[in-house]
Structure 1
């Protein structure tokens, strides 16, 4: 595990110390020379002698030690790439720092044997830091360069020294473990984290209704095809993610996503009837202005940060009176108008509106139908929308934190009174905001080990 050489020979008690290779001292034992009648030396027999390793321990990804039968010790601070003689600190004699998140470690990885260079060897001692990175100590043998082997692929391949490429693999594994730890903190429990991170595909949740949204996790890069559209998977933590919106038009049934099944259950939505003035009704006839606004909205929602910008639960922007729930079929002046894919929360004009969570303001402008409006990007294609505001307190490009005051309640645009029109958009499809309040998509996982 690392190499070192000595450029000179030292005679020690009849043995010639040739060098040091991975902390293994190699000797040449001289035997009496065979001489001819004239006294010339014609041959000299030599036999290598190696110190016997009796114990090793890796404190973490970098620090470790090896003990020999003669009482000597070698220590490393770079994962075994290089070794030096030194005493083992008492604090490190028996303690071991586990991988940064123990939830991904195997139950007890203690192999009885390993295969090295096509030969099976019994294992004297083993230590796995993660499900991929581990070491074993083999019984002392003159055939082995040294007795400690390392693996970076869970034991499929073993090496008897740490080369720069093996060291690089160790550092990548250390980075992966930190990514696992960071992602695991997002889930509701360690059991859910272990389930999600240990699976090829995970649906959060796996049962929904029309108008809902699913957070899809995969163990590798790629994309998800859904309802004629393709959503790329973006890296985050130890996995790759995307939102899959389940529009109001999706029929109940079972749908395959990766190796998982998404169940869409039927849901009944109520009907709402509104009476507005002829002037307000005429607003929806100005298609030119509506289309111009839609271009600006589409442009703002087309660029999303490729990372989750939030780390805590979402909050409701105001504590208003719910006048129109999500999913209502709306009739205006007796005519079928649309499906209301948002929440209408009535409140006094001027009531402060809070950002539902951390994000970046993608749009803050006065629009024709929705009046003073704000869209906040929460990353990965997820946006929150705030409409009919009286005042705007932010501008495009501003970074906001959960609870920041971004504007006030108003009645601008197509509105019958002071209220906040609020919803979420996932990949340009409106989705039910009730799913997000007081939780996060990572808490939508309903299974647990």
Structure 2
């Protein structure tokens, strides 16, 4: 063999090794074959074949890169890292994986290594679930690392030597069964959990702060507020479906986010004391209301004697308030419909022409006739009609049995069935019906019991922490 040729061949192989950055691993059989080929070269040509050509003619076994680490950053995105530093990413929940740079994937140690798309309000288990082993295809297998996105959706990387083409398994039932690929059933379960997680984030956003959201949403029972007075409203949250018995009535807990809610109206007849609601305690405190005296004309006073017309209107109202959307229709705090002069506060005991009339379970806000009236929050118009005593009136359904009422308007700007957003103009201030001057009679109805509006303004019900003054 020509020493110069052999030396050149060695330099070429070394250069090739430097270019690829990888060391070829030959078996004993492959090395023997290489030697035989080099010794049997054509003596007549006096030129040996290059080592590169020989390598290409042989079946050389290279060790397959091993999957050593993975992370799912949300239900759709994740990354895998291999022993040869190759990184693969997915954007379809693990159905397909493609090569990417560590920075683009968000692998720890890279500039974007801490990136996560799930946000704070995840359904991840409170205590991280770590697996040492699992059962796949009726065989127990050791687990190198695992990750559960929720109690149901989880991933597990098997220890080397499992013998599976894909050592990364996925479960959609909390680990009872495992799959070597993301099936349609697994993806459907992940989408359902993804939707629930978005609902949890929407629920948390209604609370005053993340800390208060965590406190309520991780409690078995939560009362908002835990202390109230007659005429107030309490929002109840439970971590399971069910019912709440209160003041001789039963209220169904409706799902929202991943909790279950209902409003509890505190009637004027409620006695002071402590009342158990699940494992929580509701304190009812006594409250004294002022007295108001009104003088009206005999003609106006006689309006309340027409019981047939009053009963006909009440039938319309009862029908409108008999159905409510089974969810919260609002996503932010309630607002006061107009900035008028408060002429009659909530709860005043009212005497008309010297005789007891009723408790005024609303607020009266005086304003110039024609003043625009805004919807207190998002809702559906349950009723928009001209009624005998309350004149041009509107009832908005805000979901979960909560309605707002607007009365004595000069003009209606919406009709029954319309959907409205907070701040939409729904009517104008007037003095129709049993009214002594231009004003807005405004209140809330909670499961057909009138509730104090002052509790709602500038808050969501999830932000009730104390009874209103």
TM-score by length of 1: 0.78
Tell me what 2:414 maps to: 394
Tell me what 1:195 maps to: 215
Q: Partners in 1 of 2:338 and 2:252 — Cα distance?
A: 33
Residue 355, structure 1, aligned to residue 389, structure 2: no
Deviation at 1:269, TM superposition (A): 1.0
Given candidates 55, 70, 74, the residue that maps to 1:56 is 70
Given candidates 109, 112, 122, the residue that maps to 2:128 is 109
More helix by proportion, 1 or 2? Answer: 2
Deviation at 1:233, TM superposition (A): 2.6
Tell me what 2:105 maps to: 92
Q: Partners in 1 of 2:77 and 2:430 — Cα distance?
A: 62
Q: Partners in 2 of 1:71 and 1:419 — Cα distance?
A: 73
Deviation at 1:120, TM superposition (A): 8.9
More strand by proportion, 1 or 2? Answer: 1
Q: Partners in 1 of 2:431 and 2:401 — Cα distance?
A: 28
Of structures 1 and 2, the larger Rg is shown by: 2
Given candidates 306, 313, 320, the residue that maps to 2:340 is 320
Tell me what 2:314 maps to: 294
Distance 1:113 1:352, change over 3 A: same
Residue 443, structure 1, aligned to residue 455, structure 2: no
Given candidates 249, 253, 266, the residue that maps to 1:246 is 266
Residue 309, structure 1, aligned to residue 329, structure 2: yes
Segment of structure 1 superposing worse, 330-339 or 123-132:
123-132
2:321–2:448 Cα contact (<8 Å) kept = yes
- Superposition pairs for residues 34-433 of structure 1, below 5 Å? 52-69=66-83, 76-80=90-94, 82=95, 86-90=98-102, 91-92=104-105, 94=107, 95=113, 97-98=115-116, 100-104=118-122, 105=124, 109=128, 111=130, 113-114=132-133, 116=135, 124-130=144-150, 133-142=153-162, 147-152=167-172, 157=176, 159=178, 161-162=180-181, 164=183, 165-433=185-453
Segment of structure 1 superposing worse, 289-298 or 230-239:
230-239
TM-score by length of 2: 0.75
Task: Specify the SS of the correspondent of 2:384.
Answer: strand
Distance 1:168 1:270, change over 3 A: same
Q: Partners in 2 of 1:282 and 1:97 — Cα distance?
A: 71
Deviation at 1:121, TM superposition (A): 7.6
Deviations 1:154-193 (A, max 9, x none): 6x64736356344433222222211112222222111122
Q: Partners in 2 of 1:107 and 1:363 — Cα distance?
A: 45
1:64–1:79 Cα contact (<8 Å) kept = yes
Distance 1:270 1:158, change over 3 A: same
Q: Partners in 1 of 2:198 and 2:397 — Cα distance?
A: 26
The size of the alignment, in residue pairs, is 398
Distance 1:358 1:66, change over 3 A: closer
1:50–1:142 Cα contact (<8 Å) kept = no
Deviations 1:50-85 (A, max 9, x none): 9754222324323444445466776655434x566x
Deviations 1:20-71 (A, max 9, x none): xxxxxxxxxxxxxxxxxxxxxxxxxxxxx99754222324323444445466
